[in-house]
Amino acid sequence: MSVRIITLDGPSGAGKGTAGIGLAKKLNYYYLDSGALYRLLALAAQRHKVDLDNQSAVTTLAAHFDIDFKNTAIGAMQVLLEGEDVTREIRMEHVASAASRVAMHAGVRSALVDRQRLFAKSPGLVADGRDMGTVIFPDAELKIYLTASSEVRASRRHKQLLEKGENVSLHAVRIQVDERDERDRSRKSSPLRPAASAIQIDTSAMSAEEVLNKLLEIAVIRGLFH
Ligand code: C5P
């Protein structure tokens, strides 16, 4: 049976995660949170005292680090680094910033290609990230690019961080998110940009539910419901 792939790219806070998980559940597809891979790599580098800007050392780590994704009983994803549950830790904003630094290295990106493609299993996959439609799954059946204004994205991230117990100001989050997005957009290797055939949706004025409904509508039109 063929594997159907939906790519979901865009900057942080555009609504990819919530919509992607919701869409995967509705379609009964697998879900790839590719950002978690870069976050895990950044955390591994920090723990092993590897300089984030040292391309060759971080690339070696990317080729060998021991990670695992487990589906827990409640349906949430548990993320393990060297056997330790780091699900909460990788969500911290300082880990996200470090992730965007290791993600700049071309060697790191190619070392992670196969790990990402292994998630493509029948009946299908929703792949969330920055280069899913452009580099990792260029032949995907449906490519979506979500975006939103910088203010809205920062305020969504701020809310998520407060919910996770990280006590930061909206102003600080906005600066961090803007810096991270600028790095993601301007890097030479696989920069953040919409794939040529991607459907672009501005989610600034949409609720999470509205974004999911819009994606489901598109999936129906494309015949992705069985
Ligand atoms: O999606 P998330 O915010 O968890 O991603 C964290 C960082 O990982 C991004 O800011 C980006 O630098 C990097 N990333 C990437 N390519 C992807 C997914 C994430 O470069 N496909």
Per residue in 101-142, pLDDT (tens digit) is: 999 999 999 999 999 999 999 999 999 999 999 999 999 999
CATH number (domain holding residue 181) = 3.40.50.300
Helix (H/G/I), strand (E/B), else coil: 137: coil
pLDDT value at position 28? 93
- Which residue ranges of the chain lie beneath pLDDT 50? none
What's the 47 CA to ligand 1 centre distance in angstroms?
A: 19
Domain membership of residue 68 (yes or no) is yes
Smallest CA separation from ligand 1 atom 11, residue? 100
Residues with CB under 6 A from ligand 1: 12, 34-35, 38-39, 96, 99-100, 103, 129-131, 180, 184
How far apart (Å, rounded) are the C-alpha atoms in residues 92 and 90? 6
CA of 156 to the centre of ligand 1 (A): 16
How far, in Å, is the centroid of ligand 1 from the Cα of 90?
A: 12
User: 109 lies in which domain range?
Assistant: 4-221
The distance between the two most distant Cα atoms of the chain, rounded to a whole number of Å, is: 49
Q: Considering the domain boundaries, does residue 137 fall inside one?
A: yes
Domain count, the chain: 1
**From the CA of 1, how far away is ligand 1's center (Å)?**
30
What letter represents residue 70's amino acid? Answer: K
Tell me what pLDDT residue 73 has. Answer: 59
Name the CA radius of gyration of the chain, rounded: 17
* Among 22, 35, 8, residue whose Cα is nearest residue 212: 22
Cα-to-centroid distance, 188 and ligand 1 (Å): 15
In a domain, 226, yes or no: no
Whether 138 is in a domain gets the answer yes
Q: What is the pLDDT of residue 1?
A: 62
Q: Given this model, what pLDDT does residue 152 score?
A: 97
- How many distinct helices (H) and strands (E) make up the chain? 9, 8
pLDDT of residue 6: 98
Choose the residue to mutate in 184, 186, 190 for probing ligand 1, maximizing ligand atoms within 8 Å of C-beta: 184
pLDDT digits (tens, 9 = 90+) for 133-164: 999 999 999 999 999 999 999 999 999 989 98
